[in-house]
Chain A
Amino acid sequence: MEADELLVLVAAGDQKAFEDLYGLVSGPVFGLVRRVVRDPAQSEEVAQEVLLELWRSAARYDPGRGTALAWVLTLAHRRAVDRVRSARAAGERELRMARRANGPAFDQVAEEVEAGLEREWVRRCLDRLTALQRQSVTLAYYDGYTYREVAERLSLPLGTVKTRMRDGLTRLRDCLGGVA
């Protein structure tokens, strides 16, 4: 059964369906959260919150608005970003600020990741963006910086960053073959 069908059952309280859903989404959720949050213990905590939230709020999923996986990962990303931002704001731990501004920011986890060809393909497509497009997209998405912070880090005007983000995502879409 697919994730969207499972979510409907989960919304009706079906625990078995939740187990199946867990099997489908826990890898992508955990991988994404760890990519953004970095810290292993905190990543596990956030992933757990997200997965439990799926159980609690499955009824909110609306198939008319997008795929189940997109819904789940959007939720996971939002939670992961919230966590790094509040950690940064609290100065609770200094995230390595000087992450290489040039390279795509996905090296650290790469070896452990199992998305195989898809990852390879995304990497290739990221490589095809201009450096500024890539940095704008990855600093925001993988590192959880706001576009203002991205602008500061890259010493670019806000408008330029917004444009780079949009162009970067659009180009990524073309490269990945997401025919739109």
Chain B
Amino acid sequence: MTGFFRRGDLHSLAAPYALDALEPPEHKRFEKHLKRCDSCPAEVRALREDAVRLAWSTAAPAPAALRDRVLTAVRTTPQEPAPVRPEPLPRARPERSPSRGRRSPFAPFLIPLASTTAAAALVVAALFGVQASRAQDELAQERAQAREIAHVLAAPDARSTAGRDAEGQGIAVVASASRRAAVVTGSGLGTPAGERVHQLWLMRPEGKPRSLGLLAGDTPLVATGLGTNAISLAVTIEPAGGSPQPTTAPVVQLALKSVGFGE
């Protein structure tokens, strides 16, 4: 069924592999290929994580009886020792190429802040723009926020990311996983019609979105207390004053994986 695969053909199986769409013989061949191919593991891993986004969106509460059964079984089920050699599923092999993970000190996304680009600049520019235009008595409050912002920017693991849709609506983020905080600035969001506002949400794999506050113009917003399970940020349009939970679909959403969150 599988026939003979040239290397290039094998390589093109990365996407079906990530979707678990290979038949067993091809699956085996591809995993063999993975061991010899330097660029493949990183690519497969990226594709797999895309697939996991599809999975995550199907989450549904498990039946209570299932919990009882599983927790009961666990009390009497022995565990396997750590593997002597890697199992093909779900880890194909020890990773040699740079990983996308936040844990590795060699991860390509661990970019020093000095070399991060537009997003950081945008946040800083917005911050000082705001500072300059405020009256004296507002400055104390602004300074407190500025300290928080500086605290995030100065973190050794501060990283930036930005996302923008086709209409130019987006957000820019500088975040530090170690400080559990992010500085978020809206760009091109405009002002919603009527009395409505832009509200920023933290998306997590379990649990409801958490409001991080209202985004007004390009004033930076400091989001604190972010767990490493922070998956993404989303902006929705809500009635004046904001909502306890989002009531509309997001106008902008930005994943936090590249800035050290997402699990």
Is B60 at the interface (CB under 8 A from chain A)?
yes
- Cβ A178 vs Cβ B57 within 8 A: no
CB distance from B114 to the nearest CB of A (A): 19
Cβ of B15: which chain A residues have Cβ within 8 Å of it? 162, 165-166, 168-169
CB distance from A116 to the nearest CB of B (A): 7
CB distance from B254 to the nearest CB of A (A): 5
- Cβ A120 vs Cβ B255 within 8 A: no
For A73, the closest partner residue in chain B by CB is B55
For B42, the closest partner residue in chain A by CB is A180
CB distance from B65 to the nearest CB of A (A): 8
Is A62 at the interface (CB under 8 A from chain B)?
yes
- Cβ B49 vs Cβ A66 within 8 A: yes
- Cβ B55 vs Cβ A76 within 8 A: yes
Cβ of B253: which chain A residues have Cβ within 8 Å of it? 117, 121, 176-177
- Cβ B59 vs Cβ A117 within 8 A: no
Is B213 at the interface (CB under 8 A from chain A)?
no
Pick from A56, A73, A148: contact of B79, CB below 8 A. Answer: A56
Query: Which size bracket describes the interface of A in this complex?
Result: 35 or more
Cβ of B60: which chain A residues have Cβ within 8 Å of it? 27, 30-31, 34, 109, 112-115
Cβ of B249: which chain A residues have Cβ within 8 Å of it? 117, 120-121, 124
For A71, the closest partner residue in chain B by CB is B90
Most buried by B among A23, A62, A73: A73
- Cβ A172 vs Cβ B50 within 8 A: yes
- Cβ A52 vs Cβ B70 within 8 A: yes
Report Cα–Cα, A96/B82, bound state, in Å: 41
- Cβ B57 vs Cβ A118 within 8 A: yes
- Cβ B80 vs Cβ A116 within 8 A: no
For A168, the closest partner residue in chain B by CB is B15
Total contacting residues, chain B, CB less than 8 A:
81
Residues 2-34 of A, flagged 1 when their CB comes within 8 A of B and 0 if not, give 111000000101010011001110111111101
Binds A, one of B94-102, B132-140, B147-155, B184-192: B94-102
**Given contacts A48-B70, A116-B208, A137-B54, is CB(A78)–CB(B90) below 8 Å?**
yes
- Cβ B81 vs Cβ A18 within 8 A: no
Report Cα–Cα, A77/B21, bound state, in Å: 11
Is A88 at the interface (CB under 8 A from chain B)?
no
For A150, the closest partner residue in chain B by CB is B21
Q: Which secondary structure dominates chain A's binding surface?
A: helix
Report Cα–Cα, A162/B70, bound state, in Å: 38
Cβ of B203: which chain A residues have Cβ within 8 Å of it? 117-118
Is A132 at the interface (CB under 8 A from chain B)?
no
Cβ of A142: which chain B residues have Cβ within 8 Å of it? 54, 58
Binds A, one of B121-129, B216-224, B228-236: B228-236
- Cβ B80 vs Cβ A57 within 8 A: yes
For B23, the closest partner residue in chain A by CB is A146
Cβ of B168: which chain A residues have Cβ within 8 Å of it? none
Cβ of A31: which chain B residues have Cβ within 8 Å of it? 55, 58-60
For B249, the closest partner residue in chain A by CB is A120
Is B146 at the interface (CB under 8 A from chain A)?
no
**Given contacts A117-B201, A137-B19, A150-B21, is CB(A178)–CB(B53) below 8 Å?**
yes
Report Cα–Cα, A19/B73, bound state, in Å: 12
Residues of B bordering A, CB below 8 Å: 12-16, 18-23, 45-63, 66-67, 69-71, 73-75, 77-83, 87, 89-91, 94-95, 99-101, 103-104, 161, 163, 201, 203, 205-206, 208-209, 227-229, 231-232, 234, 236, 246, 249-250, 253-255, 257-258, 262-263
User: Would you list the 5 A-B pairs with minimal beta carbon distance, nearest first?
Assistant: A31-B60, A67-B263, A30-B62, A166-B15, A122-B57
Residues of A bordering B, CB below 8 Å: 2-4, 11, 13, 15, 18-19, 22-24, 26-32, 34-35, 44, 47-48, 51-52, 55-71, 73-78, 81, 106, 109, 112-124, 137-138, 140-142, 144-148, 150, 159, 161-163, 165-166, 168-170, 172-173, 176-180
